[in-house]
Structure 1
Amino acid sequence: MATVAGGVTDLDACERAASSVLERSSIEIIVVHSPAGAIALPRGEPILFHAPVAVPSSEIAGANGAGDAFAAGLIYALHEAWPLIEALQLAHATAAASLRNISTTESVESWKDCLALASQWGWRHPSPSPHRHQRA
C-alpha cells in the first residue's frame, strides 16, 4: 500500500495501512509520523491526528534525527502517562526543535523548552480529511 505519492504523504493511506497492522496484531497503539502530521491509532479508542509545528524555513538546518526526536518525545510523554494528544504535541515539538541543527542532539532541549518553541512557532494547518476523529 503506497503511503507517499509524488513526494507527498497521503495521511489517509497511512491511516489505512496502520489500521491494517493494528487489526492483524496485538499491538496496543500505532503512531505514524510524517512531515504532514502524526496519526495515532490506539486499540479500542478514537484515531487521533495532530498537525506538525509550523517551523520557519529560516530555522531549518537539517532533518537528521527528527524522526528519532519525535519518537523520544512520544515515548517520554507516554511513559509519564500524558494524554495521547499531548504526547503527540510533545513528539512534534521535539522533532521541530531538532530541525534547528544538522546534529542529531545539539538542538533538542528540555520538554518544556521544546513545547515553548512549538507554542512560539504555532502548528501547521492540516489538510482536510473527512474521517479524522479528533484533531488538535
Structure 2
Amino acid sequence: MQTIGNKPLVRVTDSLPALAGAALAVSGVGAVLALADLASPLRAPFTLFFLIVAPAWAVAAALPGLEPFGRLVASAAGAVALNLLVAQVMLATHVWSIRGGVAAIAAISALLFLLALVRTRVRRPGGSLAGRRTS
C-alpha cells in the first residue's frame, strides 16, 4: 500500500498561471465595462483592478533584473505614478473622462509591455540582431 504523506495537493507555483489568467480576465472585463460605459455593479471594482494591474504588469515586464519583492514594489509604485500622471495631464488639458483615462492607461501599458518584449527579444542570444555583426 502507498501512503499519501503530508504533501500538499496543489503547490502555489502550479496555480500561478491560473491566477494570472483570472487576473487578466477580470482586468479585461473592467476595461470593457468602462470603455463601453455599461452600468454594472462590477464596473467600479473591475475597472480599478484594471487601472492598477495593467500598468503594474507593464512596469514589471520592463524590470527583469530585480528580485521578486523589489519588482513587486517598483511595479506597484510605477502603476500608481502612471495613473497619477495620466490623471494630471488629462485634468490640466481639460479632457478628463473615465473612458479616456482607461484608454490612455491601456495604451501606455500596452506600449510599455511591447517595448519590454522587443528589448528582451533583441538581447537574447537567438534574437533578431544576433549574428548580424560582421567585424
TM-score, normalising length: structure 2: 0.36
TM-score, normalising length: structure 1: 0.36
Structure with higher helix content: 2
